[in-house]
């Protein structure tokens, strides 16, 4: 299969490229190769060259989204919907990624794909609107919602992920405050790449949840990382009320559709982070 990964130089795209290129003809790059904001270039760039396009480009900064509203909706909603329409019209498969932040967190038990969305911040809203627009333009598109990403390569747009942030800060700080009231599932990008590798041979479409298994708080996640790496830093509890904008207090996703179709290959979060740290930091 001929595959193009938009944003293959970023955190998720990096692992997708590495995994998929083992069995497929994969191309990709950052905005220097294909600038998603230059929508007029879409037909010339993609025409008859690829069987599948995976979009990893996104405006990911939750805080900056509150002031850069136009950029957030442009990159997370409008442009992906334009891409989706072109790929639908030209019979090119399309995979896009969304977020657990489309939910408000009031449910307090794992969200399934059919649960009602109610984003609390601009980032979540832009991703939710993106989902709606993509599927309106391309009912064959596959949208994978995920959560708390970390991987070998840090997020290009943010310049860090939670794991890299914790490790770097532990080198210079004696005490770190980490919120203990946001419950989610940290997810290794390599696992998502392996899941996508399995999914491209199946005809799934619409919204599908794709996170590692289990749940934890950011605080407990940090404590577990500290234990494995024996970090010399004190980690103390903090509360989300001191953070802006609001985040969902509970955003655990249940991989219901993957499991119903016997396709789920996502791992327990503890196993994932342990193996990741042992491979890259020990």
For residue 157, pLDDT over 80 is answered with: no
Put simply, whether the predicted model's pTM sits higher than 0.85 gets the answer yes
Chain segment 44-86, per-residue pLDDT in tens: 999 889 999 999 999 999 999 999 999 999 999 999 999 999 9
Close Cβ partners of 148 (under 8 Å, ≥ 6 residues apart): 100, 162, 184, 185, 186, 187, 211, 221
Residue of 30, 38, 24 whose CA lies nearest to 55 = 30
Structure tokens at 253: 């996703």
CA-to-CA separations, 55 to 71, 220, 221, 275, 278, in angstroms, rounded = 17, 31, 28, 27, 30
Q: Are strands 187-188 and 93-99 parallel, antiparallel or unpaired?
A: unpaired
**Domains defined along the chain, listed by start:** 2-157+188-213+252-267 (3.40.50.720)
pLDDT on residue 159: 80
**Vertex 241: Cα angle to 239 and 245 (nearest 5):** 120
Q: Which residues contact 171 (CB under 8 A, 6 or more apart)?
A: none
Q: What is the pLDDT of residues 9-41, one digit of tens each?
A: 999 999 999 999 999 999 999 889 999 999 999
Closest CA to 92 of 130, 54, 56: 54
* Contact residues for 114 (Cβ-Cβ < 8 A; gap 6+): none
Q: Any idea which of 30-39, 126-135, 184-193 has the lowest mean pLDDT? A: 30-39
Query: What pLDDT was estimated at residue 156?
Result: 74
Q: Residue 217: beta bridge partners? A: 183
Report phi then psi at 144, rounded to 5.
-100, 115
The number of beta carbons lying within 10 Å of the beta carbon of residue 46 is 18
């Amino acid at each position: 299969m001929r595959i193009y990964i938009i944003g293959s130089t970023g955190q998720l795209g990096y692992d997708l490229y590495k995994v998929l290129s083992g069995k497929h003809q994969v191309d990709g790059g950052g905005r220097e190769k294909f600038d998603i904001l230059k929508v007029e270039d879409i037909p010339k760039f993609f025409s008859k060259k690829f069987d599948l396009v995976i979009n990893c480009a996104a405006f990911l900064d939750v805080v900056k989204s509150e002031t850069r509203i136009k950029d957030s909706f442009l990159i997370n909603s409008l442009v992906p919907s334009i891409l989706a329409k072109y790929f639908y019209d030209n019979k090119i498969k399309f995979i896009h990624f969304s977020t657990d932040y489309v939910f408000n967190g009031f449910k307090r038990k794992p969200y399934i794909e059919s649960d009602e969305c109610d984003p609390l911040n601009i980032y979540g809203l832009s991703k939710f609107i993106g989902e709606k627009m993509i599927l309106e333009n391309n009912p064959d598109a596959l949208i994978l919602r995920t959560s708390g990403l970390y991987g070998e390569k840090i997020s290009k747009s943010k310049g860090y992920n939670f794991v890299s942030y914790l490790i770097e800060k532990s080198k210079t700080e004696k005490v770190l405050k980490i919120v203990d009231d946001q419950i989610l599932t940290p997810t290794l990008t390599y696992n998502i790449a392996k899941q996508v590798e399995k999914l491209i041979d199946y005809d799934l479409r619409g919204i599908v949840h794709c996170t590692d298994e289990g749940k934890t708080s950011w605080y407990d996640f940090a404590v577990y990382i500290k234990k494995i790496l024996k970090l010399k830093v004190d980690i103390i509890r903090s509360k989300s009320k001191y953070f802006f904008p609001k985040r969902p207090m509970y955003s655990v996703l249940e991989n219901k559709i993957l499991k119903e179709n016997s396709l789920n290959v996502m791992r327990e979060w503890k196993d994932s982070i342990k193996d990741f740290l042992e491979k890259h930091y020990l």
